[in-house]
Structure 1
Amino acid sequence: MADYYINVILDDAKKAVISDAGLADKIVNIDGKEAVQVGVTAKEYKKLGKGFSGLTCDDSKACHLPSEAEETLLGIIAETKTLDVMKFAIMKLYNPLAGKAPRAAQR
């Protein structure tokens, strides 16, 4: 069971990607919009929160990724043909060293 969810709101192109992956039955209606929900554990959510400082969840523990990250996630869903992708996707979405300068080489 997921602790949190990433909502991916679907336009026609994204809906086609989801349908082509055989996941049309996973499309849900959220606030009048079609979407898929990707389950996220508390640990994964904590990592995503570090990678995306503005990431917040609503009362239903669902949140939205920035558009670039959402496109990456959608690509992973299309490739794997499942919504259970966060263990893999977290490696592509969360970069703990982003924005940090490399250490000086030790001599």
Structure 2
Amino acid sequence: MADYYINVILDEGKKATINAAGLADKIVTIDGKEAIQVEMSRKEQKKLVKGFSDLSFDDSNACQLPPEAEDTLLGVIAEMQTLDVMKLAIMKLYNPLAGKAPRAAMR
């Protein structure tokens, strides 16, 4: 069992992407909506919280990514045809230098 989850609520387009990836059997119902749950470790969760400061987790340790990040995650899922994608997806979602000013050139 994973430490944390990313819930991706599916609309028709996202559902088609999941079906095309052969993952229709991974669709679950969350709060009456169709969704997929992507598992992640504590370490990956910490990186996401650093990258998305407004990310919040519910009682089941699940969150929803901002739309742009969710689209990136779905792209990785479609390409790899599995929900076990966080090791690769975290590299595309987490930018440790985001929001930091570039260092001045050494003199």
What TM-score do the two structures reach when normalised by structure 1? 0.98
Query: 1:38-89 CA deviation, whole Å, 9 max, x = no partner?
Result: 0010000000000000111101111000000000000000000000000100
Q: Which residue of 2 aligns with 1:44?
A: 44
- Structure 1 moving runs of 4+ over 4 Å: none
Q: Do residues 59 (structure 1) and 59 (structure 2) align?
A: yes
Instruction: Supply the distance in 2 between the matched residues of 1:103 and 1:59 (Cα, whole angstroms).
Output: 40
What TM-score do the two structures reach when normalised by structure 2? 0.98
SS in 2 for 1:100: coil
SS in 2 for 1:91: helix
Instruction: Supply the distance in 2 between the matched residues of 1:98 and 1:26 (Cα, whole angstroms).
Output: 33
Identity of aligned residues (%): 77
**Aligned length, in residue pairs:** 107
Which 5+ residue runs of structure 1 have no aligned equivalent?
none
Q: Which residue of 1 aligns with 2:32?
A: 32
Instruction: Supply the distance in 1 between the matched residues of 2:59 and 2:2 (Cα, whole angstroms).
Output: 15
Which 5+ residue runs of structure 2 have no aligned equivalent?
none
Q: Which residue of 2 aligns with 1:96?
A: 96
